[in-house]
Amino acid sequence: MVNPTDVLKTLLGKQPVVLELDLARGVLEARPQNPLQAMQLLNATTLEALRAVLGEAVKEEKVKGLIVHASPAAPVPIAALDEIGLEIERFAASKPVAVWSESFGELGPALALYKMAAAASQVWLQPTGALSIAGMEAQIVLLKGGLGKLGIQPEFAQRHEYKTAADQFAADEVTDANREMMTSIVTAIVDDAVQTIARRRGLEVADVRAAVDEGPLTAQRAKELGLVDHLGYRDEAYAALLKEWGVTPEHLLFVSRYALKPNLQRAITRRQRSKIGVVQVHGGIVTGRGAPGLGGPNVGSDVVDEHLRHVLRDDDVVAVVLDVDSPGGSVIASDFIRRSVLTVRESGRKVVARMGHYAASGGYYVAMGADEIVALPTTLTGSIGVVAGKMVTQGLYDKLGLVREAIFDGRTAKDLSDAVPMDDEAWERLNAWLDRVYLDFTTFAAHDRGMPVEQLEPLARGRVWTGAQALERGLVDHVGGRRLAFERAAALAGVDLDDVDVVPIGHVGLLGKFSPARSSESVGGVGAPLPGAEALLLSALGRLGLPTTGALSLPYGLRLR
Q: What is the pLDDT of residues 403-450, one digit of tens each?
A: 998 998 888 989 989 999 999 999 999 999 999 999 999 999 999 999
pLDDT tens for each residue of 488-501: 999 999 999 999 99
Question: Quick check: 369 pLDDT over 70?
Answer: yes
Has residue 110 got a pLDDT over 80? Answer: yes
- Ranked by mean pLDDT, the top range of 2-16, 137-151, 352-366 is 352-366
Tens digit of each residue's pLDDT (9 = 90 or more) over 36-66: 555 555 667 888 889 989 998 999 999 999 9
pLDDT at 543: 44
Most confident of 112-121, 154-163, 384-393: 112-121
Q: Which residue has the higher pLDDT, 438 or 3?
A: 438
Mean pLDDT over each residue of the chain, to the nearest integer: 86
pLDDT at 557 over 60: no
The Cα 222–Cα 199 span in angstroms is 17
**Kind of pairing between the strands at 559-560 and 501-504:** unpaired
Distances (CA, A) of 76 to 67, 80, 253: 17, 6, 21
Q: Kindly provide the residue ranges of all beta strands, DSSP E only, lying in 438-529, ordered along the sequence.
A: 464-466, 478-479, 501-504
pTM: 0.87
**Is residue 521 pLDDT above 70, yes or no?**
no
Is residue 206 pLDDT above 90, yes or no? yes
* pLDDT at res. 544: 44
Q: Read off the pLDDT band of 27 (50, 70, 90).
A: confident
160, 392, 541 from 156: Cα distances, Å: 12, 11, 16
What residue ranges do the domains of the chain occupy?
4-134+215-266, 272-386+449-550
Q: What is the CATH number of domain 272-386+449-550?
A: 3.90.226.10
The tens digit of pLDDT for each residue in 290-347 reads 865 545 678 999 999 999 999 999 999 999 999 999 999 999 999 999 999 999 999 9
- pLDDT of res. 107: 73
How much is the pLDDT for 269? Answer: 47
What's the number of CA atoms in the CB half-sphere (13 Å) around residue 515?
A: 12
Work out the percent of the chain whose per-residue pLDDT is above 70: 82
Two domains, one topology: 4-134+215-266 and 272-386+449-550:
yes
Q: What is the pLDDT of residues 252-272, one digit of tens each?
A: 998 888 755 544 454 444 556
| pLDDT given at position 1 | 44
CA distances from 473 to 182, 264, 381, 469 (A): 17, 44, 12, 7
d(C-alpha 430, C-alpha 217), whole Å: 53
Contacts 24+ apart (CB under 8 A), 237-241: 237/98, 237/100, 237/124, 238/67, 238/100, 241/18, 241/65, 241/67, 241/98
Q: What is the DSSP letter of 76?
A: -
Say yes or no to pLDDT of 88 above 60.
Answer: yes
Task: Please give the biggest Cα pair distance in the chain.
Answer: 81
End-to-end CA distance of the chain: 40
pLDDT band at residue 509 under the 50/70/90 scheme: low
Q: What is the mean predicted confidence (pLDDT) over 376-402?
A: 93
- What number is the average pLDDT over the span 273-279? 94
pLDDT grade, residue 18 (50/70/90)? very high
Q: pLDDT band for 531, please (50, 70, 90 cuts).
A: very low
Please provide the CATH number assigned to the domain covering 4-134+215-266. 3.90.226.10
d(CA 483, CA 18): 22
Q: What percent of the chain has pLDDT over 90?
A: 66
Query: What pLDDT score does 319 carry?
Result: 98
Which has the higher per-residue pLDDT, 549 or 166? 166
Task: Calculate mean pLDDT across residues 463-489.
Answer: 97
**pLDDT tens per residue across span 207-252:** 999 999 997 899 999 999 999 999 999 999 999 999 999 999 999 9
> Strands 63-69 and 17-22: what pairing?
parallel
Task: Say whether pLDDT at 532 is over 60.
Answer: no
Please tell me which residue, 481 or 522, carries the higher pLDDT value: 481
